[in-house]
Amino acid sequence: MAIQHPYLLFLGDAPDQLAAKTAQGVAHWRPDWCLGQLRLEGCQTDLGLTDMSLEEGAAAGAKTLVIGVANRGGVFSEKWISVLEKALLLGYDLAAGLHNRLADVAVLKAAAEQHGRRLFDVRHPDREFEVANGRKRSGKRLLAVGTDCSVGKMYATLAIEKEMRARGMKADFRATGQTGILIAGSGVSIDAVVADFISGAVEYLSPANSADHWDIIEGQGSLFHASYAGVSLGLLHGAQADALVLCHEPTRRHMRGLPDYRLPDLRHCMEANLAAARLTNPEAEFVGIAVNTSQMDKAEVADYLGRLEGEYGLPTVDPFATGVAPIVDRLQ
């Protein structure tokens, strides 16, 4: 799917900032795509963007109304539906990353058909994929892998793409989750792909390219997470990655959502990911470690990063606090 921008970000009646984390991610990474925000009565979220009505957004050139907020149960409320229907009438496409589909709301489907607009349910792929073939393809690829879920893989890969482009390198972020797709404007929500086709979907997402071009592929899950390891393995095989970046959150006491599972030892995690990656690219190697230190004592961060760098011989950074330049130095 390829979503048109600029965006008007729909915040609905979000009760707090956390409910709008998708919109926050889009506004942070693609500020030049975001013309403003649309808030309904009772909304407790503010992204610091210009408040706009649908009419004002359309006049300013907005192409897509992005539902950047999740409400309880992911259900489209009646209050939302009337606004979304009006947006279609005014010429907007709609994009959402909720489990519930825009296309399953009869009034929205009918309005989109009547006015020639598109509905993007980014959590749900809009095409079929072939089974992976594992054949070597041109170009270079980097994949983020993790010790756990939600440790910063999307943030790390977006930061690497941004740093590479700032240096004039050829690089494209390849989104594999719903928020990443809204940030990139295209991608495949890989956890919604039928298992046999996960690796093939990643081959489709990161096709053959020029020898000096990098695809920076957003990772998902962890090989050590009992719930999501299958998606992580499919990504490793389909990415055919030349470079891996390990993402880690050191304050976790157990795997996210699995209190009976401890986080893996970093070296063990790296060895397992390398073994899996080398099935389709025998030359795969780790090029860095990205640590989410947001929950650490700030006084301990520098020593911790330095200790990991010394132990593993890899550039070790917090993509948000210190940036990813040392990792890109190694790639360059």
Q: How far apart are CA 6 and CA 36, in angstroms?
A: 9
Name the 3-class secondary structure at 128. Answer: coil
CA torsion 130-225-163-323 (nearest 10°) is 180
Name the 3-class secondary structure at 301. Answer: helix
Q: For the chain, how many structural domains are there in total?
A: 2
Per-residue pLDDT tens digits for 14-59: 888 878 989 999 999 999 999 999 999 999 999 999 999 999 999 9
205 and 273 in a single domain? The answer is yes
What is residue 97's predicted lDDT score, i.e. its pLDDT? 87
What is residue 76's predicted lDDT score, i.e. its pLDDT? 77
Inside any domain, residue 239: yes
What is residue 99's predicted lDDT score, i.e. its pLDDT? 81
Per-residue pLDDT tens digits for 209-257: 999 999 999 999 999 999 999 999 999 999 999 999 999 999 999 999 9
Q: How far apart are CA 264 and CA 271, in angstroms?
A: 11
What is residue 16's predicted lDDT score, i.e. its pLDDT? 87
| Lowest pLDDT segment from 38-47, 72-81, 136-145 | 72-81
Query: For the chain, what percent of residues have pLDDT higher than 90?
Result: 90
Per-residue pLDDT tens digits for 258-302: 999 999 999 999 999 999 999 999 999 999 999 999 999 999 999
* 324: pLDDT strictly greater than 70: yes
| CATH number (domain holding residue 72) | 3.40.50.720
Confidence of residue 125 (pLDDT cuts 50, 70, 90): confident
Q: How far apart are CA 36 and CA 29, in angstroms?
A: 14
157 and 280 in a single domain? The answer is yes
86 and 188 in a single domain? The answer is no
Whether 256 and 220 have beta carbons less than 8 Å apart is answered as: no
* 74: pLDDT strictly greater than 80: no
Q: Tell me which of 99 and 297 has the higher pLDDT.
A: 297
What does the mean pLDDT of the chain come to? 95
What is residue 65's predicted lDDT score, i.e. its pLDDT? 98
Inside any domain, residue 208: yes
Name the 3-class secondary structure at 296. Answer: coil
274 and 324 in a single domain? The answer is yes
What is residue 258's predicted lDDT score, i.e. its pLDDT? 96
Q: Tell me which of 75 and 131 has the higher pLDDT.
A: 131
Question: What distance lies between CA 65 and its chain's CA centroid?
Answer: 19
Inside any domain, residue 210: yes
147 and 212 in a single domain? The answer is yes
Q: Tell me which of 149 and 125 has the higher pLDDT.
A: 149
145 and 116 in a single domain? The answer is no
Inside any domain, residue 2: no
> What is the distance in angstroms between the CA of the first residue and the CA of the last residue of the chain?
31
What is residue 79's predicted lDDT score, i.e. its pLDDT? 86
101 and 151 in a single domain? The answer is no
Q: pTM, whole model, 2 decimals? A: 0.91
Q: Domain range spanning residue 235?
A: 140-331
Name the 3-class secondary structure at 29. Answer: helix
15 and 55 in a single domain? The answer is yes
Phi and psi angles of residue 65, each rounded to the nearest 5 degrees, phi first: -90, 115
Please, what's the b/e burial string for 292-328 (b: 16 or more CB within 10 A of its CB; e: otherwise)?
A: bbeebeeeebeebbeebbeebebbbbbbbebebbbbb
CA torsion 26-29-34-37 (nearest 10°) is 50
269 and 162 in a single domain? The answer is yes
Inside any domain, residue 27: yes
Q: How far apart are CA 167 and CA 184, in angstroms?
A: 19
Phi and psi angles of residue 298, each rounded to the nearest 5 degrees, phi first: -60, -30
256 and 161 in a single domain? The answer is yes
Q: How far apart are CA 321 and CA 131, in angstroms?
A: 40
174 and 235 in a single domain? The answer is yes
Inside any domain, residue 133: no
Domain end point (choices 91, 121, 151) = 121
Q: How far apart are CA 151 and CA 18, in angstroms?
A: 16
| CATH number (domain holding residue 214) | 3.40.50.300
230 and 314 in a single domain? The answer is yes
Inside any domain, residue 130: no
What is residue 305's predicted lDDT score, i.e. its pLDDT? 98
Confidence of residue 12 (pLDDT cuts 50, 70, 90): very high
Q: Of 27, 250, 246, 14, whose CA–CA distance to 145 is shortest?
A: 246
Inside any domain, residue 67: yes
* 1: pLDDT strictly greater than 70: no
